[in-house]
Structure formats: C-alpha cells, structure tokens
C-alpha cells in the first residue's frame, strides 16, 4: 500500500517520471518521500523503474603502463576493480590498482623468490656490490652512513633502484678496482646523468667541505 496522504495527481506524476526513465532515488528527492514509497506506487501502477547502476570508484586507466616488472594488460573481470598484469619473467598476476600505484606490487612473485636482481647471473660482479651498497645507504635507515645519503634526501633513480641490469648498462664496468661510484653533483641523486666511476683522490675534491676536512685529517694520522 502506498503511503496515505499522497494524492492521485502525485502518484500519476511519479509514474510518468518512471516511464521517462527516472530511478526511485531521483523521484524520491523530487517529491520529498522515501524511495521505497516510490517503488510501491510504481509497482501498483505497473511501472518499471530504471535501476541505477552501482557507481564504482574511479581509477585511472593503467592499461599499457609498466610498473617495475609488471606491464598492465587489461582490466580483470569480477566485482572488484583490478588489472591483469604480465610479468617480465612471463608470468601473470591480477593486481589492485592501489598496489601498482603505490609500488607495493612489482612482479608476479618471481622477484621475491629469486631476491632482487639475482636472476640475471651478474651478482658476482664487483659492480653488483657497488650497486647494492648504494641502495642500502640511500634506503636503509639502519645503515651506518644513511644520515649522509638517504637521511640527506639523496635518492637512487627508479630504473637503478629496481634493476642492477639497468645500472650496469648505464655505468659499465669499473675501469680499475680503485674506482668507485661518484656523484658529480654531491647534492644530487644517483642517476645516469650525475654519476661516474672515479678514484678516491678524484672523489676527495668532490665532497662537501666538512667531509674533505675529515678525510685530510685521517690521511695525516
């Protein structure tokens, strides 16, 4: 039964709006009545109201984009919004967009099983140790030199941070075992345009004034 007090004229208007394609919520707002009352009136008059589709949270279209080892292929079917991703190793994985955008999801799982960047067979190279130590001092607060690097805002560029192969491709082999990685701009990040192989003496003149003083005093002992 419809709510008492609603005139036949109002009922006819409700039914007409229903025929015109309005849903129960829109009609209820217009007449200031509950949507269940609108549905009952429409049902009693044989009017089928339009169903309002569920509004999904809006996410950016990530198709074709690459996040570390994962390339987004297509939206996954199902009630939850997620993406089908192809991993560099050939595997696949369905991932929520928030995990891709935050960097929490980087591979199908192969990256974690092998350990970062150890699947390439290059981990015995001396440059691998340089790369690993570079990341440690910029990302690990427990590193004894973190305050001079990560604590100062020094970062490792994304391509190097996630791939030793990219680092090795950009930097190449050390000229000698006396060379180590050096940032040309001492306040800049570790990235291809700001890094070179340099000896300790070359790096001495590229350090901050306080560091140069400490090294000179240590050398005189």
**pLDDT values of the chain reduced to their tens digit, one per residue, 221 residues:** 444 578 888 888 889 888 888 888 888 888 888 888 998 999 998 888 877 655 455 677 888 898 888 899 988 887 678 889 988 877 888 888 888 887 778 887 776 544 444 455 567 788 888 998 999 999 998 889 999 999 999 999 999 988 888 888 888 888 888 899 999 998 999 999 999 999 888 877 666 555 545 445 444 44
Residue with tokens 């701009």: 185
pTM, 2 dp: 0.43
Any long-range contacts for 169-178 (C-beta under 8 Å, 24+ apart)? 170/195, 171/127, 171/195, 171/197, 172/197, 173/125, 173/127, 174/126, 174/127, 174/130, 177/126
What is the CB neighbour count within 10 angstroms for residue 152? 13
Give the pLDDT confidence score for residue 100 in this predicted structure: 85
Contact yes or no for 129/135 (Cβ under 8 A): no
Q: Give the DSSP letter string of 10-49.
A: HHHHHHHHHHTT--HHHHHHHHTS-HHHHHHHHHHTTPPP
Give the pLDDT confidence score for residue 50 in this predicted structure: 78
* Domains defined for the chain, CATH in brackets: 1-53 (1.10.10), 66-114 (no CATH), 126-220 (no CATH)
């Amino acid at each position: 039964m419809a709510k008492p007090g609603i005139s036949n004229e109002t009922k006819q208007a409700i039914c007409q709006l229903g025929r015109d394609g309005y849903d129960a919520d829109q009609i209820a707002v217009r007449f200031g009545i509950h949507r269940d009352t609108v549905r009952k009136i429409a049902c009693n008059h044989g009017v089928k109201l339009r169903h309002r589709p569920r509004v999904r949270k809006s996410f950016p279209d990530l198709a074709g984009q690459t996040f570390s080892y994962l390339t987004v292929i297509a939206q996954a079917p199902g009630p939850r919004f997620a993406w089908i991703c192809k991993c560099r190793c050939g595997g696949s994985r369905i991932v929520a967009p928030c995990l891709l955008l935050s960097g929490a999801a980087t591979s199908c799982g192969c990256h974690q099983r092998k350990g970062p960047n150890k699947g390439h067979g290059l981990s015995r190279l001396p440059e691998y140790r340089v790369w690993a130590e570079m990341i440690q001092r910029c990302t690990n607060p427990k590193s004894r030199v973190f305050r001079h690097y990560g604590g100062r805002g020094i970062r490792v560029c994304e391509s190097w941070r996630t791939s030793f192969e990219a680092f090795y491709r950009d930097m190449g082999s050390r000229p000698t075992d006396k060379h180590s990685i050096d940032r040309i701009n001492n306040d800049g990040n570790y990235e291809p345009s700001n890094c070179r192989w340099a000896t300790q003496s070359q790096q001495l003149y590229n350090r901050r004034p306080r560091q140069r003083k400490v090294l000179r005093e240590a050398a005189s002992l």
